[in-house]
Amino acid sequence: MEGVWPEIDAGAYPVKRVIGDRFKVAADLIADGHDLLGGALLFRHEGEPDWREVRLVAAGNDRWEAAFDLDRLGVWHYALEAWIDHAATWLHALEVKAAAGAQSIADLPTELQVGTILCAAAAARAARVNPSDAVRLRDAAGALDDRTIPVEDRVALALEPALAEILARWPDRDRAARYGRDLSVVVDPRRARYSTWYEFFPRSAGAPGQHATLREAEARLPYVADMGFDVLYLPPVHPIGTAHRKGKNNSLRAAPGDPGSPWAIGAAEGGHTAVHPQLGTIADFRHFVDAAAGHGIAVALDIAFQASPDHPWVKEHPAWFKHRPDGTIQYAENPPKKYQDIYPLDFESEDWRGLWQELLQTFLFWIEHGVTIFRVDNPHTKSFYFWRWCIAEIKARHPEAMFLSEAFTAPKRMYALAKLGFTQSYTYFTWRESAWELQTYLTEITSPPVVEFFQPNFWPNTQDILPTHLAGQGRGAFAARLILAATLSSSYGIYGPAFELMDNQLRPGSGEYLDNEKYELKQWDIARPDSLRPLIRRINRIRRDNPALQQNRLLHFHASDNPNLLCYSKRTDDHASVILVAVNLDPNGRQGGMIHLDLGQLGVTGDQPFRVRDLVGGGRYTWQGPHSYVELDPYTLPAHVFIIERL
């Protein structure tokens, strides 16, 4: 058995799928000689003691395939077996010799004797499980051996399709070969593949200049739901330390009243399992989660495993932190950035077992309070072994749990975290600008092997990042990045209201927003008439109504004569849903050009006319053939999102 797929790193890591998927497995089966082969795909859920199986089907050129339905969350195991199919080999030889006529007639009695033995042996195997099949096989064996019946009649009996079907159910597998390792697939909730995220700071959702409570922030939920988001990501909600608290714009000195960064976790009021007193209580948090669920929104909570100097852990568990020779603890750094208000944890400390257990309990605490989705801050700076262990422990108890990796790091580290258990990941989309960059990157992450374990989540902006291509730009740039994120990736998110209100002021030399909300309370005018809110609502509705946009495997790029135009399509397997997108990547100029379509990807054949209907702009056009002209003005609408309608 060779070329088994899917298989990640020789079976070291599981494949990723979502509930309801039909899971297809393929392999090359190779044997010496001319005997015919048989095989089976074995599978079982981790909660099942026994294997089930489905037979492999020949797909040509020694390739064999089979599939089964993933109808339960959790880990599924799968394996492969293959064997020489003596009965099928005998039937094939008998058919050939019977068709050869007189020159092979002398061989037929011997072939019938072979068949008698094979049918009797199959009957013995069937008798333990299916007595009805056993009776039919014994009858067939008797008839094949009955010399009072003419040879040609016994041959005709042997070649009846019904006998081949029964024999195929009871092959001789005593010498079956088994693939050298059992493999696994992790089945996550549907949101693992298709989700729409929105981030806001609840403390800024109150009266001007006032720190809002979670109860007050609930008033923002209808606004989020109206735009069509189904995951609401909250920055850390814990008490914030006062030691070395950062002031506005990340200044080293906080002014009176500065709230500090939510990522400087821990104070006298508690640490990672406490709620900031100005936000409310644990009961208020649970009320917020339940209120969000009432709007069809799941709350995702930021988990940042680091501590303010005021965190209770610093005094209670000093061994969990790395100390310098002078006895002090080194604050966190990501040169040139310095985080004087944060202490990193030491995952290799002498008490690493105690630390790891405490961090596991942090996740379990919030799961008990209604959160099963976590955005994990900088996981690549923590032990990879910890993540593999911790996520496995959590998902064994709560297979519905999801983890978004905020690891803006080297590609192979990002992929390693996905293999170790992270459900989704932030990506380099945030910095990919040109058509070539976007096409190259998307091709990589939507092709094997990466697509088998890496689920991207595209963010045009974050609370940490205002990309240079949005800095100082206007509506066209923000609209284009929204449409790219929402249609290139089946999961995407925005940090709002900064995004829909097109906040474009960059703090020089930082890559961050000027007057960053991480360090101050912000007052957002969410009712502003120029908000992108209507466009966001429309795009999210398009995503919800078109299954083609709810997966990434069938993304295809189409050529364009103009490098400022990016054209791509997504479709379902059966072409029942096909979306074609053309985006102007120039935020300041009208761009037009010919696009050259791969009609097969659109489900269109030959010169068949077809209609494209713009789901955003409202236009409707009849096209014919692979070449069409598009022109897009960023000051009106920088993209077409076409649905393909065959005439």
* CATH value at residue 47: 2.60.40.10
> The domain containing residue 141 runs over which residues?
86-169
Does 599 fall in a domain? yes
From the candidates 21, 188, 377, 452, give the one annotated as an active-site residue: 377
Percent of the chain scored above 70 by pLDDT? 99
Q: What does the pLDDT read at residue 337?
A: 79
Do 266 and 272 touch, CB atoms closer than 8 A?
yes
Q: Which one has a higher pLDDT value, 46 or 334? A: 46
- Residues 407, 521, single domain; the answer is yes
Indicate the DSSP class of residue 5: E
- Residues 501, 448, single domain; the answer is yes
Given a cut of 90, whether residue 335 has pLDDT beyond it is: no
**Domain endpoint, select from 549, 578, 611:** 549
* CATH value at residue 357: 3.20.20.80
Region 71-88: mean pLDDT is 98
Given a cut of 60, whether residue 103 has pLDDT beyond it is: no
374-413 pLDDT, tens digit each = 999 999 999 999 999 999 999 999 999 999 999 999 999 9
Question: Which residues does 360 contact at the CB level (< 8 Å), separation at least 6?
Answer: 390, 393, 394
- Residues 63, 118, single domain; the answer is no
Region 83-110: mean pLDDT is 87
Q: What does the pLDDT read at residue 646?
A: 86
Question: CA dist 518 to 189, 248, 260, 263, 513, Å?
Answer: 31, 8, 7, 8, 9
What's the distance, Cα to Cα, between the start and end of the chain in Å?
46
Q: What does the pLDDT read at residue 504?
A: 98
| Averaged pLDDT score across all residues of the chain | 96
Given a cut of 80, whether residue 101 has pLDDT beyond it is: no
533-545 pLDDT, tens digit each = 999 999 999 999 9
Does 175 fall in a domain? no
SS3 assignment, position 158: helix
* CATH value at residue 622: 2.60.40.1180
- Residues 117, 221, single domain; the answer is no
- Residues 409, 513, single domain; the answer is yes
Tell me, rounded to whole angstroms, the distance of Cα 367 from its chain centroid.
Answer: 21
At 344, list the tokens.
Answer: 């990193």
Do 417 and 380 touch, CB atoms closer than 8 A?
yes
- Residues 154, 255, single domain; the answer is no
Indicate the DSSP class of residue 8: B
**What is the band of 106 on the pLDDT scale with cuts at 50, 70, 90?**
confident
Given a cut of 70, whether residue 262 has pLDDT beyond it is: yes
* CATH value at residue 148: 1.20.58.80
Q: Which one has a higher pLDDT value, 106 or 250? A: 250
**How many separate domains does the chain show?**
4
Region 329-354: mean pLDDT is 91
pTM of the model: 0.95
CA distance 565 to 477: 14
Region 12-20: mean pLDDT is 98
Q: What does the pLDDT read at residue 647?
A: 83
Given a cut of 70, whether residue 505 has pLDDT beyond it is: yes
Does 177 fall in a domain? no
Do 88 and 167 touch, CB atoms closer than 8 A?
yes
**What is the band of 606 on the pLDDT scale with cuts at 50, 70, 90?**
confident
Name residue 579's amino acid: I
Whether cis (ω within 30° of 0) applies to the bond prior to 6 is yes
- Residues 468, 519, single domain; the answer is yes
Q: What does the pLDDT read at residue 144?
A: 96
Given a cut of 90, whether residue 498 has pLDDT beyond it is: yes
From the candidates 406, 464, 500, 503, give the one annotated as an active-site residue: 406
SS3 assignment, position 17: strand
CA distance 297 to 353: 35
Region 205-233: mean pLDDT is 97
Q: What does the pLDDT read at residue 615?
A: 98
Q: What does the pLDDT read at residue 107?
A: 79
Region 493-498: mean pLDDT is 98
310 an active-site residue?
no
Q: What does the pLDDT read at residue 455?
A: 98
Question: Which residues does 358 contact at the CB level (< 8 Å), separation at least 6?
Answer: 313, 317
69 an active-site residue?
no
